Amino acid sequence: MIASNRKGCFVVKQIVKAFKCRLYPTKQQEQRLQKTFGCTRFVYNHLLHLALERKKLSKVAKHYFPSKADFVNSVALLKEVFAFLKEVDSIALQASAEALHEAFSRYFNKQNRFPNFKKHSSFKSYTTKTVNHNIRFVTKHRITLPKLGSVRLKNSFGDALTTGQIQRATISQEADGAYYLSILVKNVPVHDLPKTNVNQGIDLGLAHFAALSDGVFLEAPRALFHYEHQLKQAQRTLSRRIARAKKEKRALHDSKNVQKARQQVARLHAKIKHVRQDFLQKASTALVRAYDVLALEALNVRDMLQSTYAKGISDASWAQFKTMLHYKALWYGKTVKWVNPAYTSQTCNKCGDIDQMNRFGQQFRCTKCHHEDHADTNAAKNILKAAR
């Protein structure tokens, strides 16, 4: 939701924006967080089990589907039966029930698969909402959370976090053990960026992350490629230790060497993810600042992931980059246009001739007018023409 008003010659928008920060809880707060993760997972799984039991008594699928109020009201009944649920944030338990209702709704609308039970190893997250200012900033780097008290965090967003109206917060723990806080803030002021009167065509690729129509290339860090050797070694070590633990009939969660190897694999995956995210955020912001109109191909990335180039496409994260460009352009008063990708790499941007023989690798030479250019730059120019 975006509300806007004019202030002088600039447009000021009030938007709902999410911020993700690193959390640094104490040992006692970590124990409370782990307990809350477990309780929200228990509520989700228990209500899902009850819904499945109800399904057995009904012939029509939607007849056994409880309403949102039924799910939420069931939480109070569970707290009477299971006393340990009273020790954690009650709003987080209600949010878990609402998440299950949403999962069922998406299933019946054919948007998702049938809801699954949450595993202990993969489900370490919960959401709580602001009620009577129970979520508020004490200082720039300290926030008060329900049942946790004051928690230290890394705030790299300045006053946008402390001055906005916090709606909800999601606390999660990633596989490498780090805790993160995602805050949804309402009424965050955003100003339109100054107009540059420059338009740009962008051709996404693998040899270069992006080729611009003015001849500039953006190079991705290729995080997976650089850390792949270390990741393979860490995964082999983990596989050997798991096999040895099973051979010696030891529980995996009690094997310290297995857990150390798992942490090493998780840390490498987190490193790859953070390097990639950092590049995508900075590149998308720089493009939105520099150009008024950005033209890109309307690629079906999901279908392209079925090809032999799936690994490189996943490492480049084209879909996430396009999403970032879209919402940042909406925020800052810029425009993103999507064009048909057909024949953009085979068409000469000078004479318009379309020939498969025009392109040879990364070189483009028109068979009709003999115009020469870099193949990706030529494609970016065609994308910009199509957008116009």
Residue 174 and residue 23 in contact, taking contact as beta carbons nearer than 8 Å: no
Show the tokens assigned to 155.
């705030």
315 is catalytic: no
Please name which of 379, 373, 374, 369 lies closest in space to residue 347, comparing C-alpha atoms. 379
Among candidate residues 30, 102, 203, 303, the one labeled active-site is: 203
Measure the CA angle with vertex 113, ends 109 and 119; round to 5°: 135
Measure the CA angle with vertex 294, ends 305 and 302; round to 5°: 10
The Cα 2–Cα 330 span in angstroms is 9
Among candidate residues 89, 297, 315, 373, the one labeled active-site is: 297
Residue 373 and residue 348 in contact, taking contact as beta carbons nearer than 8 Å: no
To the nearest 10°, the Cα dihedral for 220, 225, 227, 232? Answer: 160
The Cα 241–Cα 232 span in angstroms is 14
Please name which of 335, 306, 299 lies closest in space to residue 320, comparing C-alpha atoms. 299
Please name which of 155, 176, 211 lies closest in space to residue 345, comparing C-alpha atoms. 211
Residue 18 and residue 166 in contact, taking contact as beta carbons nearer than 8 Å: no
Among candidate residues 89, 315, 373, 376, the one labeled active-site is: 376
303 is catalytic: no
297 is catalytic: yes
User: In sequence order, what are the residues at sequence separation of 6 or more whose Cβ sits closer than 8 angstroms to the Cβ of residue 18?
Assistant: 182, 183, 184, 185
Looking only at the bridges linking them, the beta strands covering 10-24 and 125-129 are unpaired
Residue given tokens 């809801």 in the structure block: 115
Show the tokens assigned to 193.
């960026």
The Cα 378–Cα 361 span in angstroms is 13
Q: Is 256 helix (H, G, I), strand (E, B) or coil?
A: helix
User: In sequence order, what are the residues at sequence separation of 6 or more whose Cβ sits closer than 8 angstroms to the Cβ of residue 25?
Assistant: 33, 148, 151, 152, 179
DSSP 354: B
Looking only at the bridges linking them, the beta strands covering 165-173 and 179-191 are antiparallel
Query: What residues act catalytically?
Result: 203, 297, 376
